Amino acid sequence: MAYRSKLKYSDVTPKADFLNRRQLMGGAGALAIGSAAGVLPKWAEAAGKYSTDATPNTFEEISTYNNFYEFGTGKGDPVANAQRLTTDPWSVQIDGMVDRPGNYDLADILAKVSIEERIYRFRCVEAWSMVVPWNGFELKQLLDMAGVQSGAKYVAFETLVRPEEMPGLRRSGIEWPYREGLRLDEALHPLTLMATGLYGKELPKQNGAPLRLVVPWKYGFKSIKSIVRVTLTDKMPPTTWNMLQSREYGFYSNVNPNVSHPRWSQATERQIGGGLFAKRKPTLMFNGYEKEVASLYDGMDLKANY
């Protein structure tokens, strides 16, 4: 079954009037000033119960310092190389153990979901961090559209493969497409977001436009970008970094200061935007979302299931 629309996703993108409550290019300063005056800016008020009260990084920091290997391995490669990417129109193939498999146009998806802002901590496995104000919708809404069958246990994701627009695909050693996966209960958790925007604007191409996953209690490489396929399955799916080096990158990849990467400690992190002489800060269990997600792993050995 295919779901087609004459609309483009930009016709219903979350940057529309729906979210026209602020222009936040200088967002971090606005929050600091508003808080000092005892009045939060409207974007912070609208962020909701799942958001952190930490000061967000600036739009420039978030959009110019990131990993997206399809466009190169340097932190500045994605912003330099991703602008050629065609993101509109866009569709997502949903298949596997679902009642309504098919190609879902992003325009149709966005017309049916509830877009909201979530200000999340973001922690890279490389031991740096940011605070990001995403716009998006809970992954559960997309899975409900497709109708998850009772035997499904995992959700697998794949990134777009388009060599003529993605120069990083020429990199050897990675089996494309980029793959990621979640356990079904992780995917259905209300913190798990499908991001479509950033700072009330369309999601920048270098940040995974037009649709990316955000799982704030896991290392950033789990938050797969530019998604074109979602598969429900009863088996744990292969994931790219685990396929490349299973000793270093586990399936779960929960942020855990007590479990070091084999080549560096995860006990502390460097916050982007903190300045040249900023002190590293302690990493929080589950990236600060322990209260919300720890129960998902009751009884599990988090060192063995890293």
pLDDT tens string 142-191:
999 999 999 999 999 999 999 999 999 987 789 999 999 999 999 999 99
Domain extent, residue 30, equals 9-297
- What gap in Å lies between CA 166 and CA 82, rounded to an integer? 7
| Distance from C-alpha of 172 to C-alpha of 135, rounded to nearest angstrom | 34
Element (H, E) at 180: strand 179-183
* CA gap 282, 271 in Å, rounded: 10
Is 150 among the domain residues?
yes
Residue 43 vs residue 54, higher pLDDT: 54
Task: Specify the number of domains making up the chain.
Answer: 1
**Residue 127: which pLDDT band, with cuts at 50, 70 and 90?**
very high
Residue 26 forms part of a structural domain: yes
pLDDT at 258: 98
In a domain, 302, yes or no: no
Distance CA 32, CA 207 (A): 25
Q: Does 29 map to a domain?
A: yes
Task: Indicate whether 26 pLDDT > 60.
Answer: no
CATH number of residue 75's parent domain? 3.90.420.10
Minimum mean pLDDT range among 39-43, 118-122, 194-198, 263-267: 39-43
Evaluate whether residue 108 is within a structural domain: yes
The binding site comprises: 66, 69-70, 124, 159, 207, 212, 223-225
Q: What is the pLDDT, as a whole number, of residue 10?
A: 54
DSSP state of 277: T
Give the residue numbers of the binding site for Mo-molybdopterin.
Answer: 66, 69-70, 124, 159, 207, 212, 223-225
High-pLDDT (> 70) share of the chain, %: 85
Q: How many CB atoms lie within 10 A of CB 29?
A: 12
pLDDT of res. 9: 52
3-state secondary structure of 22: coil
DSSP 216-235: TTB-GGGS--SEEEEEEESS
pLDDT at position 267, please?
A: 98
Considering the domain boundaries, does residue 191 fall inside one?
yes
Classify residue 1: in a domain, yes or no. no
Q: Let me know if residue 137 belongs to a domain.
A: yes
